[in-house]
Structure 1
């Protein structure tokens, strides 16, 4: 009996067969993994109520949403700026229950029922807050990107001084008010101005502080 003929397989044929097999296995694995990937894509949502600039907003947010992103992306209050997104530049400063915070470093869900004031809530072009008017008068900005955070921070600084909250440079803790150029520079040091308008910012804050006094 003659021996069966064994077909010859070239190296090229072997590579083609191997590639086709690998593609089939990969496609099957991808189809099997699709439901698992879809399940993993579902992120937890929670309801949160914020009083922003005097208006109550009920939002349903990813629990990881920062207050900054909730203001900008959900409420479209884009006056508050995203600068470094690491709490180092102060461009995202807003007032929460009267205290200044870096909104990029806190989650929106942590402020249920809080009263949030952004630059839009301080004043309007036709009816500016005294601090906004002073920044315009003293050229306390150049490119303007840091200005909303600077103004919100300056408003909070004057409130801190009024309440007698000391800073690292306060010499006499019994002095009232704790107002000086050094005090203002120290208290505003968390707000970075890349354009370098610091002296004008101090002048604006001192003018508003003087008018209040």
Structure 2
């Protein structure tokens, strides 16, 4: 009787798991076993869906919304209403006052599409609680024109093609109107050369670009925007020199 070699003896007495690890690895075995392992891994890592309970939707101790009184003027019209204290000025204008010209873009104060004028100052309405402007005068893009006569900034944007899709345009125009007021009052910017002698700022293209940098145009209509603001700035300067 032929005797077994030591290698053959080890294989003859090896457990099935040992044989699996010592058997030659073929391409077919690799693909077959690898597929099984991959599926098992995916199933193991997939979270099991847990039904959402009422408790999860309404955490214990959550405070109910509080309604507050608000009075303000919007585009020259007085309003008195009750609102949720958490309502932003942007949502109030769009959803309660049917003024959709003010756009909701990033909703984080980064794009400027929601810019409106509050007491003549430009702000991002998505970051402003409506309640914090109780008693204020709010002007939106709908309130700039006088009847059928466009505001000079609106007309300049049309003349110089200061827009493409138009989504950011209402915020751009309101921001430009507020910016011209800031410049006329001597507010400096990061590119103002001499902040010790400001007075009424002369708006170069660099000044306009810097002061309008908070309003993003994803279509890239910046040359037209700068040209429009420049034209209105020069027009206002000419009027002041004649008065």
Q: Give the TM interval when normalised to the shorter protein.
A: 0.7 to 0.9
Q: Does the aligned pair in 1 maintain the 2:114–2:125 contact within 8 Å?
A: yes
Q: Find the aligned partners of 1:85 and 1:156 in 2 and give their Cα distance.
A: 20
1:58 is matched with 80
**C-alpha deviation, 1:43, in angstroms:** 1.7
User: Which has the higher relative contact order, 1 or 2, with Cα contacts under 8 A spaced 6 or more apart?
Assistant: 1
Mind listing any 5+ residue stretches in structure 1 that lack a counterpart?
1-28
1:117 is matched with 139
When the two structures are aligned, how many residues end up with a matched partner? 180
Q: Find the aligned partners of 2:225 and 2:147 in 1 and give their Cα distance.
A: 19
1:95 is matched with 117
1:82 is matched with 104
Q: Find the aligned partners of 2:135 and 2:224 in 1 and give their Cα distance.
A: 36
1:210 is matched with 234
Q: Under a length normalisation based on structure 2, what TM-score does the superposition of the two structures give?
A: 0.70
2:68 is matched with 46
**C-alpha deviation, 1:124, in angstroms:** 5.8
Q: Which runs of 4+ in 1 moved over 6 A?
A: none
2:149 is equivalent to residue 160 of structure 1: no
Residues 69-123 of structure 1: CA deviation (Å, up to 9, x unaligned): 0000000110000000000000000000110000000100000100000000001
**C-alpha deviation, 1:126, in angstroms:** 2.3
**C-alpha deviation, 1:50, in angstroms:** 1.2
Q: Find the aligned partners of 2:65 and 2:187 in 1 and give their Cα distance.
A: 41
2:156 is equivalent to residue 143 of structure 1: no
2:222 is equivalent to residue 198 of structure 1: yes
2:204 is equivalent to residue 180 of structure 1: yes
Q: Under a length normalisation based on structure 1, what TM-score does the superposition of the two structures give?
A: 0.80
Q: Does the aligned pair in 2 maintain the 1:44–1:62 contact within 8 Å?
A: yes
Q: Find the aligned partners of 1:124 and 1:212 in 2 and give their Cα distance.
A: 18
**C-alpha deviation, 1:148, in angstroms:** 0.3
Helix, strand or coil for the counterpart of 1:185?
Answer: helix
1:26 is matched with none
